[in-house]
Amino acid sequence: MRRVFVKKTKKPVSNYPITKLPNYQMAKAHLNRRYRFSASHRLHSDQMSDEENSAIYGKCNNPHGHGHNYVLEVTVSGQVDKNGMVCDLVELDECVQREVVTRFDLENLNMRPEFRDSVPTTENLCTVVYDILKREFPQAHLERVRLEETMMNAFEYNEIE
């Protein structure tokens, strides 16, 4: 007698429509996006003597300044919408590009009006970027801004609520 083997197939698993997923309306999801820009600065305060500036800022007080290839990480949060997203990525990317990257890319931060009354440390740059995005991107809750200056230095800012 000849045996015939029949391959048993499972029913295909269909993708559940978004409406069939569990209700996550009370949950908060986080989205992290990374951006890059380059800028230069000199850490120097006109309120201090050259000796004080040199003692506080060290080599970063070089009169000719120095540059960094910054990596900006933006974290936003919110409820997952009916499309399965915290926010529209295109809108977030356009906002960061328009309001942050084009503003600071290839710029000497000391010459920017944002630093007229402060030293353009990366910590201060972080707070400036946070304030800009908080004002310009209301589509999701801005959780934090992280700015990587070098492989060894990264700074993070989030508003105390």
pTM equals 0.82
Structure tokens at 39: 């800028």
- Which of 92, 106, 91 lies closest to 39 in space, CA to CA? 106
pLDDT averaged over 10-residue windows placed end to end, the chain, 161 residues: 56 51 68 98 96 96 96 96 93 98 98 97 98 97 97 93 65
**What pLDDT sits at residue 25?**
56
DSSP assignment of the chain, as one string?
A: ---------PPPPPPPPGGGS---TT--EEEEEEEEEEEEE----TTS-HHHHHHHHGGGG-TT-EEEEEEEEEEEEE---TTS-SS-HHHHHHHHIIIIIHHHTTEEGGGSGGGTTS---HHHHHHHHHHHHHHH-TTSEEEEEEEE-SSS-EEEE----
Cα angle for residues 158, 136, 148 (degrees, 5° grid):
45
**What pLDDT sits at residue 13?**
47
**What pLDDT sits at residue 160?**
81
In the chain, domain spans:
18-157
**What pLDDT sits at residue 157?**
97
Q: How far apart are CA 152 and CA 43, in angstroms?
A: 18
**What pLDDT sits at residue 78?**
95
**Domain at 18-157, CATH from 1.10.150.570, 3.30.930.10, 3.30.479.10, 3.10.129.10:** 3.30.479.10
